[in-house]
C-alpha cells in the first residue's frame, strides 16, 4: 500500500495518515513502522534471517540494517552465545558490534507561544473534537475483520511451526548426542579389548622367558657338576667311563634293532595278508641285521634285492626308513583325496613330503585314486578352461548355485552339462549352462 500509494484511494495524503486513521487499533503508524523495520532487518541478514523469529528480536538490530556485514556479525555472535537467542541476546550482540553513540541532552527552550489544548468545534449543543473516531463503511469493516482473522490464523500457524521445529531440533540433538556417546563407548571398548590382548601376549612372553631362564639355570648347574666331576676324576677313569657308556649305548641300539626284526619262521608259517610291503621291509631289515652280524655279503645282497636298493648298509638303512614312512604316506594321501573339493594344490601340499617314495605309495593306491590324481594334475595345467571333470560353481553371486559345488559331466562346445551335488537326491540332477556362466570352485 505504501509503495503503490493505494492509501490515496481512501482519501489520505500520506501513508502515515492512513496508518494513523485506519490502523490505530493495531498501533498505528508506529507499529507499522516497527514491522517494516523488522522486514528490512530480515532481508539484510540474508541466510541468518531465519534465526530472527519476531519483530521484538529484530528491533535492536534495526540500526544495523544499512550495514549488512555488521548485521550478520551481530546475529552470528548472538547464535554463538545461545543457539536460540532472545531479544536481549540480539541487543547485547548489536551493542558489541556497533556501540551506540552517547546521547546529548537536548536543550529545551521555553515556548514563545503558550500551549493550548485541542480546539473544540461547536456543533449544535455539543462540543465535537477534531480527532473524533471515524466511522468506516460496511465493506471496510468486513475487510478489517477478515484481516484480523487472517492475522490471528497466521500467528497460530507460525507458533505451531515454531513449536514443531524446536521439538524436531531438540530430538535431533539428543539423537546425535546419544549416537556420539555410543560410538565413543564402542571405541573405548575396542581399545580396552586390544590392550587386554596385548597384555595377555606380554604375560605369555614373560612366562616363556621365565621357563627359559629356569632351563638355563638347570643346564648351568649340570655343566658345573660335570666340570667338577672332570676335575676330581683322573683321565683313566674317564676313559673307562666312556667305554662303559658306549657299550651301554651299543647294547641299547642292538636291542632296539632286534625288537624291530621278526621271526622268519613265523613269517614263513603264516604270511601277512594285508601289508606285504611292510613285511618285505621287515624281512629285508632282518637279513640286513644278519648280514651285519655275520659279515655275510650274500645276505646283504638278498636284503638289497628285497628292499630294492644298493647292497650297502647305508643304502639299505635309507631304503628301510623310506618304506617305514609308506603306511603314513598312503594314509595322508587317501585322507586329502577324500576331502570335498580337493584340488591339485591340496594334494601336492601333502605328496611333496613323500616325493622320494612316490612310486611306492602310488603302487598302494587304488585305480580310482590314481585316476583322480591324474585328473587333478590335468586340471591344474589348464586352470582357465572349463571341461569335463572340472569342479565348478555358478558365476552369478545372486544365484543360489553360487555357493554350491558341481562337476562338468559333458562338454558341448560353448555349453556344458553340470551335475550339482545339492541336486543329488532330487529328480533333476543336471542342467545346461554356457561356460561364461560358470566359475571354478574355490575351497575356503
Q: What is the pLDDT of residue 139?
A: 65
For range 49-56, the mean pLDDT: 86
Confidence class for position 45, pLDDT limits 50, 70, 90: confident
Q: What is the pLDDT of residue 169?
A: 87
Query: Which set of grid coordinates corresponds to residue 339?
Result: 576331502
443 has pLDDT over 70: no
Q: What is the pLDDT of residue 415?
A: 92
Express each pLDDT in 23-40 by its tens digit: 877 878 888 888 888 898
High-pLDDT (> 70) share of the chain, %: 72
Nearest by Cα to 387 from 353, 419, 416: 416
Q: What is the pLDDT of residue 37?
A: 86
The domain limits of the chain are: 1-102, 255-317, 382-444
Confidence class for position 430, pLDDT limits 50, 70, 90: very high
433 has pLDDT over 90: yes
267 has pLDDT over 60: no
Query: Which set of grid coordinates corresponds to residue 357?
Result: 617314495
For range 259-265, the mean pLDDT: 50
Query: What is the distance in angstroms between the CA of the first residue and the CA of the last residue of the chain?
Result: 81
| Residue-level length of the chain | 444
126 has pLDDT over 70: no
Task: Give the separation between CA 333 and CA 353, rounded to whole angstroms.
Answer: 11
Q: How far is CA 273 from CA 123, 260, 328, 359, 428, in A?
A: 150, 19, 19, 21, 44
H helices present in 352-395, as ranges: 358-364, 367-381
Express each pLDDT in 279-315 by its tens digit: 666 666 666 666 565 555 666 667 667 666 677 777 7
Least confident of 220-224, 236-240, 327-331: 236-240
Please tell me which residue, 319 or 116, carries the higher pLDDT value.
Answer: 319
Q: What is the pLDDT of residue 307?
A: 67
Please tell me which residue, 197 or 328, carries the higher pLDDT value.
Answer: 197
Query: Which set of grid coordinates corresponds to residue 443?
Result: 575351497
| pTM over cut 0.75 | no
Q: Are 438 and 392 in contact (CB under 8 A)?
A: yes
The sheet that has 430-434: what strands, in order across it? 430-434, 415-420, 406-411, 391-394, 438-440
Q: What is the pLDDT of residue 279?
A: 65
Q: Are 90 and 74 in contact (CB under 8 A)?
A: yes
Share the mean pLDDT of the chain.
77
Identify the sign of the CA torsion 43, 48, 52, 53. positive
Please tell me which residue, 408 or 110, carries the higher pLDDT value.
Answer: 408
Q: What is the pLDDT of residue 101?
A: 74
Q: What is the pLDDT of residue 431?
A: 93
Q: Which helix (H) or strand (E) holds 409?
A: strand 406-411
Task: Give the separation between CA 281 and CA 6, rounded to whole angstroms.
Answer: 125
Q: What is the pLDDT of residue 121?
A: 42
Confidence class for position 197, pLDDT limits 50, 70, 90: very high
Q: Are strands 438-440 and 430-434 parallel, antiparallel or unpaired?
A: unpaired
Least confident of 88-92, 111-115, 190-194: 111-115
Express each pLDDT in 342-376 by its tens digit: 888 888 888 888 877 787 777 888 888 888 888 88
Please tell me which residue, 33 or 425, carries the higher pLDDT value.
Answer: 425
Q: What is the pLDDT of residue 125?
A: 42
Q: What is the pLDDT of residue 422?
A: 92
Task: Give the separation between CA 252 and CA 263, rounded to whole angstroms.
Answer: 20
Q: What is the pLDDT of residue 295?
A: 57
| Listed ranges 57-66, 136-145, 235-244, 422-431; the one with the highest mean pLDDT | 422-431
Q: Does domain 382-444 have CATH number 3.30.465.10?
A: no
Q: What is the pLDDT of residue 241?
A: 57
Least confident of 18-27, 82-91, 129-138: 129-138
Express each pLDDT in 397-420 by its tens digit: 888 899 999 999 999 988 999 999
H helices present in 261-339, as ranges: 264-269, 276-294, 297-307, 313-324, 326-337
Give residue 250's Cα distance to chain centre: 64
Amino acid at each position: 500500500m505504501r509503495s503503490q500509494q493505494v492509501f490515496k484511494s481512501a482519501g489520505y495524503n500520506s501513508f502515515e495518515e492512513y496508518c494513523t486513521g485506519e490502523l490505530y487499533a493495531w498501533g498505528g503508524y508506529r507499529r507499522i513502522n516497527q514491522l517494516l523495520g523488522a522486514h528490512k532487518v530480515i532481508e539484510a541478514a540474508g541466510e541468518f534471517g531465519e534465526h530472527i523469529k519476531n519483530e521484538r528480536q529484530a528491533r535492536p538490530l534495526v540500526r544495523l540494517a544499512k550495514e549488512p556485514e555488521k548485521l550478520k556479525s551481530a546475529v552470528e555472535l548472538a547464535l554463538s552465545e545461545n543457539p536460540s537467542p532472545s531479544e536481549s541476546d540480539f541487543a547485547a550482540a548489536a551493542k558489541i558490534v556497533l556501540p551506540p553513540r552517547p546521547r546529548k541532552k537536548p536543550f529545551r527552550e521555553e515556548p514563545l507561544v503558550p500551549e493550548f489544548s485541542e480546539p473544540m468545534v461547536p456543533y449544535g449543543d455539543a462540543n465535537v473534537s477534531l480527532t473524533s473516531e471515524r466511522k468506516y463503511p460496511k465493506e471496510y469493516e468486513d475487510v478489517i475483520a477478515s484481516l484480523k482473522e487472517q492475522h490471528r490464523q497466521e500467528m497460530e500457524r507460525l507458533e505451531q511451526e515454531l513449536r514443531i521445529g524446536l521439538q524436531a531440533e531438540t530430538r535431533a540433538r539428543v539423537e546425535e548426542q546419544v549416537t556420539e556417546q555410543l560410538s565413543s563407548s564402542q571405541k573405548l571398548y575396542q581399545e580396552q579389548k586390544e590392550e587386554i590382548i596385548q597384555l595377555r601376549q606380554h604375560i605369555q612372553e614373560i612366562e616363556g622367558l621365565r621357563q627359559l631362564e629356569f632351563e638355563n639355570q638347570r643346564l648351568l648347574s649340570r655343566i658345573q657338576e660335570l666340570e667338577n666331576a672332570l676335575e676330581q676324576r683322573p683321565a683313566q677313569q674317564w676313559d673307562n667311563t666312556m667305554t662303559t657308556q658306549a657299550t651301554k649305548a651299543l647294547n641299547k641300539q642292538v636291542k632296539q634293532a632286534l625288537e624291530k626284526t621278526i621271526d622268519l619262521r613265523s613269517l614263513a608259517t603264516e604270511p601277512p595278508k594285508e601289508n606285504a610291503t611292510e613285511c618285505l621291509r621287515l624281512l629285508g631289515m632282518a637279513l640286513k641285521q644278519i648280514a651285519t652280524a655275520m659279515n655275510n655279503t650274500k645276505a646283504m645282497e638278498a636284503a638289497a634285492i628285497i628292499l630294492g636298493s644298493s647292497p650297502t648298509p647305508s643304502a639299505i638303512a635309507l631304503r628301510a626308513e623310506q618304506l617305514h614312512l609308506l603306511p603314513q604316506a598312503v594314509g595322508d594321501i587317501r585322507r586329502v583325496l577324500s576331502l570335498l573339493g580337493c584340488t591339485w594344490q591340496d594334494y601336492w601340499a601333502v605328496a611333496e613330503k613323500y616325493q622320494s617314495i612316490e612310486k611306492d605309495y602310488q603302487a598302494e593306491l587304488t585305480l580310482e585314486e590314481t585316476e583322480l590324481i591324474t585328473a587333478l594334475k590335468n586340471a591344474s595345467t589348464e586352470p582357465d578352461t572349463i571341461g569335463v571333470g572340472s569342479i565348478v560353481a555358478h558365476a552369478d553371486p545372486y544365484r543360489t548355485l553360487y555357493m554350491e559345488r558341481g562337476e562338468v559331466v559333458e562338454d558341448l562346445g560353448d555349453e556344458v552339462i553340470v551335475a550339482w551335488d545339492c541336486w543329488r537326491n532330487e529328480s533333476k540332477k543336471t542342467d545346461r549352462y554356457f561356460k561364461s556362466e560358470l566359475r571354478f570352485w574355490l575351497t575356503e
